A and B are shown apart, each in its own frame.
With several copies, the nearest count.
Chain A
Amino acid sequence: MSEQNAIIKVTGLSYRYPRRGVVLDSVDFALHAGERVALTGPNGAGKTTLLHLLVGLKKAKAGDIWAFGESRSEEKQFIDVRARAGFLFQDPDDQLFCPTVLEDVAFGPLNLGKSREEALKIASETLASLGMEGFEERITHQLSGGEKRMITLASVLAMEPEVLLLDEPSNALDSDARQRLIDTLLGLPQAMIIISHDPDFIAQLATREVRLEDAKLRAVNLTEPQRVTA
C-alpha cells in the first residue's frame, strides 16, 4: 500500500485532545526524498501535534503511518523511526539536558549504540560542520537563544537522520542567527518538514507548502516564483 518513494506517508490520521476536541481530522500527507515541505497554520492548529504523531511521541486515534518503507503503529516500531528521523523541538530548552554541548550532541549517537569514543568523535565533527567548533565545553544552559538552536540542530544531525522534522526553528532568533540557519538548512541533502510562522523564512527554504487549518491539511499554491529555490 505504501508509495514507492515516500519516506514518510500518513493516511486518515486523526487526533483529539481530551478537552480541546479534534485537532487532526483524517489527514493525508507524504514526504518524498529531497523535499523541504513547509507546514503552516494558525496558532493551536495542531502542527506540533502532527509531528509528534509521525514519530510516535503521541498515539494517533485513527489512521496509518508508514515510515522508511514499513507500517508503524506500536511503540516498538517507532523506536526505529526516532532513530532515523531528526526531530528539532519547538523550544530548544526542552531538548538540551546535558551539562556541556559536546555531551548533549553525543547523546543521540550513544543511544544508537555507538561507543563513547565514536560518539564524541561524531559530535565534534558535526559541530565543526555547522561552524560551531569551540563550543564543545560550553555549558548548554548559558547559551544565547541562537546558539541553543544551532546546538540542538547539531545534536539532531549527529544521529545522521534520513529526514528532518523542524518545529519553528527560527523562533526568537536575531537576524544573523536566522540567516546562518537558512544557509545551513539549504546545504543539507535530507528531506525535511519545517513548521514556521515566518513567510520570508518559508519562501527562502520550502519547495512546497501545506497548511493545517480547522483540523484539515491542504496544499498551498506557491505562486511567487522565489518560493521554489531548490
Chain B
Amino acid sequence: MHIVDGALALPVLATGAALTVAGVAIGLKKMDYDHLPQVGVLSAAFFIASYIHLPIGFSSVHLILNGLIGLALGWAAFPALLVALFLQAVFFGFGGFLVLGVNAVNIALPAVMVYYLCRHGISSPSPKVAATWGAIGGAGSIVITTVMVAFSLMLSGEAFLLAAKATFVAHIPVMVVEGFVTAAAVLLIRKVKPEFLGIDEERAYG
C-alpha cells in the first residue's frame, strides 16, 4: 500500500501533505499527554502488523489493521499512523520520504471514517451485530485505502490507470482477511477490555 518516492505528481504530493498536517493537528489536539502510551501502543501494533503474513492459497498477504486502529483511536489515528509510517520509511526504507503525507492520509483518513461509521455498531449489546460492524470496519478501511491509493496514482498520470485497477483487484483478498481478523479482534477486546474501544461497560454487558 505504501507508494514510493518519485511516482506521484507534485500537486498530489502537496495535497497529501496538507491533508496529513491538518489531520495530525486535529489528532494531536484531541489527544492529551496521558493518552500517549495508548496511542503509542497502537502505533507500534500497526508497525508489527505489517510483518504478520497470512497465507492465501499459494500466496500470502500482510495485515494493515488501520480499521482496528481507527476504531480504537478516532482522530488520534492520524498522528499514530504517521509516526509508524515515518519509522518504517526512515529505518526500513518502506515507502518513500516525500510521499509520507500521501501515504499517511491514504491510511489514516479511512481509519477515521471507519471510526465514525462503525463506532456505534461495535458497541451493540449483541456480539453478532458488533462482529459484523467490526468486519465492515476492517474490510471497509482497506477498500477506502485502496481506492485512495488508486486515485493518488491516477491523478498523477493516465498511464497509471491500469496499475491503479490492478492494485484494487490485488487487495480484494486483503479486504476479506482484514474483515475477519478485525471482527475477531473487536469481539475479543469488547469482552476483555471494552474501555479500550471506548465502549461503555454497561452496554457491553447488557
Interface residues of A (CB under 8 A from B): 18-19, 98-100, 139-142
Digit string of B170-205 for contact with A (CB within 8 Å is 1, else 0)?
000000000000000001100111010000010001
Alpha-carbon gap, A209 to B188, bound state (A)? 40
New A-B contacts (13) at CB < 8 Å, excluding given A100-B191, A141-B192, A142-B192: A18-B195, A18-B201, A19-B201, A19-B205, A98-B188, A99-B187, A99-B188, A99-B191, A99-B192, A139-B191, A139-B192, A140-B192, A141-B193
Tally of contact residues, B, Cβ under 8 A: 8
Cβ-closest 7 pairs across A and B: A99-B191, A99-B188, A141-B192, A99-B192, A139-B192, A139-B191, A18-B201
- Chain A CB within 10 Å, residue with most, of B191, B195, B201, B205: B191
Q: What are 5 A-B pairs with beta-carbon distances under 8 A?
A: A18-B201, A99-B191, A100-B191, A139-B192, A142-B192
Alpha-carbon gap, A141 to B196, bound state (A)? 14
Alpha-carbon gap, A19 to B192, bound state (A)? 10
CB distance from B88 to the nearest CB of A (A): 21
Name the residue of chain B whose CB is nearest to the CB of A98: B188
Give the chain A neighbours of B188 by CB distance below 8 A.
98-99
Alpha-carbon gap, A99 to B192, bound state (A)? 6
Alpha-carbon gap, A17 to B188, bound state (A)? 20
Give the chain A neighbours of B193 by CB distance below 8 A.
141
CB distance from A9 to the nearest CB of B (A): 29
Give the chain A neighbours of B201 by CB distance below 8 A.
18-19
Alpha-carbon gap, A30 to B59, bound state (A)? 40
Alpha-carbon gap, A18 to B193, bound state (A)? 11
Alpha-carbon gap, A41 to B193, bound state (A)? 26
Alpha-carbon gap, A185 to B191, bound state (A)? 31
Alpha-carbon gap, A100 to B192, bound state (A)? 9
Alpha-carbon gap, A98 to B184, bound state (A)? 10
CB distance from A190 to the nearest CB of B (A): 30
